Chain A
Amino acid sequence: MTTDKANPAVGSILVVGGGISGLTTTLEAAEVGYEVYVVEKNPNLGGRVSQLNQYFPKLCPPTCGLEINYRRIKDNPKIKVMTLTEVEKVEGEPGNYEVTLKLTPRFVNEKCTACGECAKACSGEIDNEFNFGMDKTKAAYLPNDMAFPMRYVLSADISAEDGKKCEEACKYGAIDLSMEAKTMTINVGAVVWATGWKPYDATKIDNLGFGQHKNIVTNMMLERLAATNGPTKGQIVRPSDGKAPATIAFAQCAGSRDENHLPYCSYICCMASLKHATYLRAQYPDAKITIYYIDLRAPGQKYEKFYKKLKEDENVFFVKGKVAEVSEEANGNIGVVAEDAVSGEKSTQSVDMLVLATGMEPSLKTDKPSADLNYNEDGFVVNDFSKGGLFAAGCANKPADVVTSNQNATGMALKAIQTLVRR
């Protein structure tokens, strides 16, 4: 293709989303010398990985991995991080885009030392989104204990009175109640969308009883329960009475591979449940774990090995048959109904706790910015490399684990660079 690109390449790249994929694209591009803006709609970077207890492939806690990335960002003057920022509009063409950003006020400026005095002074509480609403946090809060930037934030819902109290409590003058929402534009040559995913809303799966019965949780909730910085300080207990579960069932494909919900395989949930089985086995050596599945998908050699190891575990049971009905028993237990397709028996198992292995929905499915992007019918971005300029990485592009997301994000950094240097 002989091209005559008259447009002068603008030298910077915009990365939308500061999760593991966005961080990877940002660093890969910045470390070869390109200027990168990374915008994140939450008050901190880290994305879904920061909510996990441990993550594949090495079952590290998220601090390991995220912290080194944060360090690299801090050390790199080419990177500009903007939190509480969303992309409203992208106009222009490859090599020359004007991007409109929407900034939500944090009410806390860069003078914040994360001393926590504002939170102490604040009396109002809000649902803790980081823990999927399983506990409360003050309306002046630190998003999590390894937040980057390590800076507090005041909720938009904070009362005027609490705002005043926070301002008075802060001896560094970091509280700025006059901050307002604003929009700004930046010029970039390429945009990489690393907007990630959200857990599928399990309340939509009527027959699996989430939201109706307390002791049914989602897999991401279990991550928070298992994490030491979670609502139970790492104790996996059932929500209704705080009891240590002796029997736990996992319902695989909760909403995934289901035309009534998400028609595709979410890729991560099988390995997530196998990983959760290891959390439970470590914490409760006598607990009995049953995993109800259609097909177990452990892609690649490493995951296959992981699965094989669990299959040998005498306290982990695998039942081929999807959970399609649940009920709540008087003691809070959950009756799980499934047909074992191997034996051809339909039965109800009473468990202390049921974990729904819910899948992922691309964030862009519901929040589409005004930009020239192609989506498939499920809301994932289809990359058009011949057009170039705008690329999706990680779970904005397809359901993927961290390893695959990072490989893909590295590739998209190169695609973005190619857009800038193409003449």
Chain B
Amino acid sequence: MSNQYLVEPCLDFVEQVASLGGDSVKKCYQCATCTVACTIAPDNSPFPRKEMIATSWGLKDRVLGSADIWMCHECGDCSELCPRGAQPADVLSAARSAAITEYATPKFLGKMVNDAKMLPLFLGIPAAWFALMAFITMTMGESMEKLFKGFGMHWHHHTDAPIASADFVSSWLVDVTFVPLLNLSILIFLIGLIKFVKDIHANAVLEGKTDKTDFNLVQYLVSVVKAIPTIMLHKKFNECGENKSRALAHQMVLFGFIGCFIVTAIFFVVLYIGGVAGPYDQINPVKILANIAGVGIVVGSFLMIKDRLAKSEPSSFKDWALLVLVFGLGATGMLTQGVRLLGYIDGLVGIAQVVSYFFYYIHLILIFCLFAYLPFSKMAHIVYRVAALGYAEYANRK
């Protein structure tokens, strides 16, 4: 209240939040029950009451540039107690989604990724791409082998397995797609992060939420590292009263992804440096890790889908898109492998090959979605939340 300023409402922002599932924000009458209900809101300038009024007033910068919206783990304690049915948890979730769109470059892509009508296009691109890649692999193997020999390399990687996914879409083609794609996503993230961290620091200074007025990058990065154990153990998530089970499910998926990332990295190195191709034996430790990670993703995301289906309020497209993607990734990965193993049974090779390739094809499309749309979809929370929780650590905001 000490400093006065002219309110410049951004009405588009209010509409954007409403369309992302935060339409209940206008019901809020600022009683501040939510801030008390929240078990993880700090005492100094707690959330989500101030975000509720800032959102309904269209103060876009105040909301999107605040690290606080990322401290919320959407347990729903606030919505449960809200006397007006204003669902602050949903509003903050919508605000996070709006923040992802805001900080992603180019912005129009962010809007399109979260638009259900665009889904056929966004699935169509990778579907067409991998159809082409499969066509190249299956029809042009000989000429590619000759071409590669010219550089002293092999197009084919030798394997004894009766069915190998690399015979459907070559590992070379998979990696030539995904490695640049992931790097592009990381670049887009970096551009977004620079602005994001600048904004959340400015906001914290403005609202008196930090004891540091100058920003020190090294100290900040140290704080991010310090925050990692809390994030890994889901400590804040578990402080949320309403749903401990959700934290466990989320943890399974997170660890599943980390596991798969490690497996992929090992596979990558072993293939291109060691020249040993997959598929690996089922008893290979890397394979075992891969399977544990895969099961984690499938079970975790299944639990989250179940949880979401049980909600009285229907969830928005962005929420479902992510959950279906994650579950689909896990399920098609496991199915590709499972059906491939049936190839060891006499007489099943033919049919198993077709079915396994089909699942692999879907799997590739979904991985493309994961990597390409990462900075624009709800999945981007993995980056912004870590950055924001690291900032909370840096700013001594507890």
A residues neighboring B (CB under 8 Å)? 207, 253, 257-261, 294-295, 320-325, 337-339, 341-347
B residues neighboring A (CB under 8 Å)? 1, 29-37, 41-46, 49-50, 81-85, 207
Cβ contact within 8 Å between A324 and B1: no
Known contacts A257-B83, A321-B32, A324-B33; A342/B1 CB under 8 A: yes
Cβ contact within 8 Å between A207 and B83: no
Cβ contact within 8 Å between A345 and B44: yes
Q: A334 to nearest B CB, angstroms? A: 14
Q: B244 to nearest A CB, angstroms? A: 19
Q: A64 to nearest B CB, angstroms? A: 37
Taking CB atoms, residues of chain A closer than 8 Å to B44 are 344-346
Known contacts A294-B31, A324-B37, A325-B37; A345/B85 CB under 8 A: no
Cβ contact within 8 Å between A253 and B49: no
| Bound CA span A320–B36, Å | 13
Known contacts A324-B81, A337-B36; A343/B31 CB under 8 A: no
Taking CB atoms, residues of chain A closer than 8 Å to B29 are 257, 294-295
Chain A interface SS verdict (over half): loop
Cβ contact within 8 Å between B43 and A324: no
A-B contact pairs, 16 of them (CB 8 A): A253-B83, A258-B83, A322-B31, A324-B32, A324-B33, A324-B37, A339-B32, A339-B35, A339-B49, A341-B30, A341-B49, A342-B1, A344-B207, A346-B36, A346-B42, A346-B43
Cβ contact within 8 Å between B36 and A325: yes
Cβ contact within 8 Å between A259 and B37: no
Cβ contact within 8 Å between B33 and A322: yes
| Bound CA span A261–B31, Å | 15
Taking CB atoms, residues of chain B closer than 8 Å to A343 are 1
Known contacts A339-B36, A346-B35; A259/B84 CB under 8 A: yes
Taking CB atoms, residues of chain B closer than 8 Å to A324 are 32-34, 36-37, 81
Q: A104 to nearest B CB, angstroms? A: 38
| Bound CA span A345–B34, Å | 13
| Bound CA span A12–B34, Å | 54
Taking CB atoms, residues of chain B closer than 8 Å to A322 are 31-33, 36, 83
Cβ contact within 8 Å between B35 and A294: no
Looking at A258, A294, A295, A324, which has the most chain B CB atoms within 10 Å of its CB?
A: A324
Q: A199 to nearest B CB, angstroms? A: 18
| Bound CA span A343–B208, Å | 11
Taking CB atoms, residues of chain A closer than 8 Å to B34 are 324
| Bound CA span A214–B81, Å | 23
Taking CB atoms, residues of chain B closer than 8 Å to A345 are 43-45
B2's nearest neighbour on chain A, judged by CB, is A343
Q: B48 to nearest A CB, angstroms? A: 11
Cβ contact within 8 Å between B85 and A338: no
Q: Which of A258, A259, A260, A346 contacts B46 (CB 8 A)?
A: A346
Cβ contact within 8 Å between A338 and B1: no
Taking CB atoms, residues of chain A closer than 8 Å to B85 are 259
